Structure 1
Amino acid sequence: MTRERCDYAVMAQEIAAGTLGPEGFTHRAHLGVAYEILSRHEVFEAMAIYAGGLRALTAAAGVPEKFNATVTFAFLSLIAERMAQASYDSAEAFLTQNPDLLRKGLLEGYFSPDTLSSALARRVPLLSATRQVGVH
């Protein structure tokens, strides 16, 4: 079993450089790294940095299909919103004070499972749980 990494600031530098490996990159680590990047960059710049690094990581791991633009955009938006509403001393403090973000299935409150698993959701950030893929 791989040990979870919690050196989020270092991991944020690695993801920005495209060198972060998948070892120890748990859901909690995803959130901690996102917090670190969002704390250092304007939100849209942070999203580009994080998404680019995550795409590089999934490609290097041989699973590029695991990247999901909708999931990435949704979590980064939730984290940025929480960061704008309160101050946190660290990524760890943020995670401790926002435990709901660690809950499995959190995004199912926003999106249907079919929407989240769609090919379109993997390519572009979708905004609506009720949006019908292919309907304009």
Structure 2
Amino acid sequence: MSTAPADFDALMAEVMAGAERFGHREHVHLTWLAVRRVGTVAAVGLVGGGIQRTARYANVPQKYHATMSRAWVELVGHHAAERGEEDFGVFVGRHPALLDKRLLTRFYRPATLASPPARNGWVAPDLAPFPWQDASRAG
């Protein structure tokens, strides 16, 4: 599925309609909306591309982080698939860990996230597997 900058802009407008600033909660909300509208795989490109364009436009392209962007989309997508909540408040009420900006440190070493390969492309977790990866090993 192709995603356009207008798709990201529409999601951003929806999230910001009730927000004073774009903080972590709004980032998770935007990601949740994207996952619900286009699925997790397409949301990786939609959210990542939108954040990257926004950072370039704001003249801070170094703020875009490829691994963090994809990891957050995949985490939100994993939890969104569990019950399919229709309300964002209900969703984060059931998954409060997603509101913790430091959540990725459960899966990645700080040095890994700080590395150029992680900033510029996908790097798999090196501290602990994601929940869906761990579940595939249980049994």
TM bin, normalised by shorter chain, reads 0.7 to 0.9
Q: Would you say the 8 A contact 1:12–1:33 is kept in 2?
A: no
Root-mean-square deviation (Å):
2.2
Superposed, 1:1-136 pairs within 5 Å as: 13=10, 15=12, 24-129=21-126
Total equivalences in the alignment = 115
Q: Aligned to 2:77, what secondary structure does the other structure show?
A: helix
Residue number in structure 1 paired with 2:16: none
Q: TM-score, normalised by structure 2?
A: 0.74
Q: TM-score, normalised by structure 1?
A: 0.76
C-alpha displacement of 1:36: 0.4
Superimposed CA distance per residue, residues 16-59 of structure 1 (whole angstroms, 9 cap, x where no aligned partner): 9xxxxxx8211110000000011010322111111110001111
Consecutive unaligned residues of structure 2, counting only runs of 5 or more, are 1-6, 14-19, 128-139
CA distance in 1, matches of 2:99, 2:45: 22
- Alpha carbons of structure 1 residues 45 and 104: separation in structure 2 relative to 1, 3 Å: closer
Instruction: Report runs of 4+ in structure 1 exceeding 4 Å deviation.
Output: none
- The alignment-based identity, stated in percent, is 28
Consecutive unaligned residues of structure 1, counting only runs of 5 or more, are 1-9, 17-22, 131-136
Which is richer in helix? Answer: 2
